[in-house]
Amino acid sequence: MNREDAARALVGLMVLLLPWAGVLAVLPLAAVAYLERSTRMLSASLALLLLMKFSIELSHLNLPMYVVSISFVVSTFACLASRPFGALSGSLIYLMTTVALGYPAAAINSSGLLPEKILFMTLLGGLSGAFLQHVSKERDFLVPFGACMVMWLFSFDYPLPELGRMIMIYIFALVLGLGAYWARAGDVDAILSEIIICILVVLFAGFSWFLLLLCFYLLGGAFTRYGYAKKEKLGIAQSGGGVRGYKNVYSNSLVPLALAILYGLYSSELILFAYLGSVATACGDTLASEIGETSSTPPRMITTLRRVEPGVDGGVTALGEAASVLGAAAVGVLAVAIGMSGLQGLAAAVLGGFLGTNFDSLLGATLQRTGMLTNNGVNLMATLFGALAGGAIYLVVWS
C-alpha cells in the first residue's frame, strides 16, 4: 500500500471517532490533509459533512450521524477495495465493502436503528457511491457528498419489509441488473441506476409497480435492436450497438420513481393513474422512435406536417404513432392483468402514453431543435406530461 492509499485508509478509520468526537473529528481530518496533499479534497468533503450535520441541528432538520459514517466508508475503503477490478466486478466489490464495513459503522453511530434500515441505507450508499465513482471526475467531493445526500433523502421514518424479504428484493434487483448487463441492454452505470430504481420502487410501492417499469425496459431494449442494420445505415441507430446509458435510464424513469415513492407514502389512486401514464409514455415513446425510424414512409414534422429526413427531432410517422399506442397498451394491459387497475387504468395508460409520446415529438420539434433541451430533457418532460395526463384521466373518470 502506497502513502496515498494509506492516508485514505486513515481517513476512513476516522469513522471510529465519530461516536465520541463528533464534529471535533474535523481536527484529525485536517491533520491528515496537511500531511498528505492528495487527501485534501476528500478530507475537506467529509469535514464539510460533519460541519453540516452539527450546524443544521440549529434548525428542525437532522442529518443523522450514521448517514455520515457510511459516507466515510463509501469514499475510502470501498473505493480502495474496488480499484483493482473492472467496471462490473469493481462495482460489486464496492457494494459488498460498503455493506460489510458500513453496517457496523452505522450501528455504532445510531441508537435503536432497525437492522432493516441500516441494511437499506448501506446498500443505497454503496450503489450511489459506485455509480458516482464511475460517472464523476471530482470523485473525492462527489462520492462522499453525493452518496450522503442520497441516503439523507431516505433517512426519514417509513415502514420497511422484514429483513428476509428485503434481502430477497436486493438479490432480485442484483440478478436482474447482472442479466441486463450480460444481455448488453445497458452499460455499468445504467445497470447500477436500474438496480437503485428497482429497489426503491419495490420497497415503496410493491413488486407489481416495478413489473410495469420492467416491461418498458424489456420492450425498449428489444426494439432498440429492431431494424438496427437499416437504422445504422441511415446514421440514426442508437450508439454502442443499442447499449443504453444512465442518462437514458433516469430521463425515462425519474418521474415514475418519484411517483412510486409518493404512492408508498400516501397510497393515492391518483398517483397510480399518473404512474401508468408516465411509464406508458416512456414505453410508447421508445417504441415509436425505434419502430417508426424503420418506416418506408418519410416522417413528417409534427408542427408543420412537412416531410423531413428520418431521425429528425419532431418527425412522426403513421408506423411510429401505431407503435406508441402498442407500447402504451402493453403497459396498460399488464397493469390490468396483474390486478393493479381496471379498464380505467388501461385507458389512462393508452391515452396518457399516446399524448405523452406526441408531446415528446412536439418538444423535439421546438425546444430540442433550438438547443434548449437535450433528448434526455425531452424524455423527462414527456414522462412528466404523461403522468399529468394519466392523473387528469383519473379526475375525469372519478369526478
The sign one gets for the Cα dihedral 171, 174, 179, 182 is: negative
Say how many residues make up the chain: 399
Mark whether 95 and 243 lie in a shared domain: no
Mark whether 224 and 88 lie in a shared domain: no
| Residue 300 maps to a domain | yes
Q: How many separate domains does the chain show?
A: 2
Mark whether 228 and 107 lie in a shared domain: no
Mark whether 140 and 243 lie in a shared domain: no
How many whole angstroms separate alpha carbon 388 and alpha carbon 160? 29
Mark whether 133 and 275 lie in a shared domain: no
Q: Output the pLDDT for position 111.
A: 82
Mark whether 362 and 271 lie in a shared domain: yes
| Residue 183 maps to a domain | no
Cβ-proximal residues to 375 (8 Å cutoff; 6+ apart), any chain: 251, 313, 364, 368
Tally: H helices and E strands in the chain: 18, 2
User: 138, 157, 176: which is the final residue of a domain?
Assistant: 157
| Residue 191 maps to a domain | no
Q: What angle do CA 70, 162, 97 make, to 5 degrees?
A: 30
The domain in which residue 372 lies consists of 219-399
Question: How confident is the model over 352-370, as pLDDT tens digits?
Answer: 999 999 999 999 999 999 8
| Residue 165 maps to a domain | no
| Residue 35 maps to a domain | yes
How many whole angstroms separate alpha carbon 188 and alpha carbon 180? 10
Mark whether 142 and 287 lie in a shared domain: no
Q: Output the pLDDT for position 149.
A: 97
Question: How confident is the model over 219-275, as pLDDT tens digits?
Answer: 988 887 665 556 556 555 555 556 788 999 999 999 999 999 999 999 999 999 999
Mark whether 148 and 262 lie in a shared domain: no
| Residue 52 maps to a domain | yes
How many whole angstroms separate alpha carbon 104 and alpha carbon 307? 63
**How much is the pTM?**
0.93
Q: Is 231 within 8 Å of 174 (Cβ atoms)? A: no
How many whole angstroms separate alpha carbon 245 and alpha carbon 193? 9
Q: Is 369 within 8 Å of 363 (Cβ atoms)? A: no
275 vs 4, 105, 373, CA distance in Å? 48, 37, 23
Mark whether 235 and 116 lie in a shared domain: no
User: 157, 183, 202: which is the final residue of a domain?
Assistant: 157
- Computed over its alpha carbons, how large is the radius of gyration of the chain? 23
Cell, residue 206 = 410493491
User: 122, 137, 157: which is the final residue of a domain?
Assistant: 157
CA count, 13 A, side-chain hemisphere, 131: 24
Of 374, 129, 153, 388, the closest CA to residue 261 belongs to 153
Look at phi and psi of residue 81 and say left if phi exceeds 0, alpha if psi is from -120 to 50, else beta: alpha
| Residue 302 maps to a domain | yes
Cβ-proximal residues to 215 (8 Å cutoff; 6+ apart), any chain: 279, 283, 330, 331, 334
| Residue 365 maps to a domain | yes
| Residue ranges, the chain, pLDDT below 50 | none
The b/e string for 7-28 (b: 16+ C-beta within 10 A; e otherwise) is bbebbbebbbebeeeeeebbeb
Mark whether 389 and 253 lie in a shared domain: yes
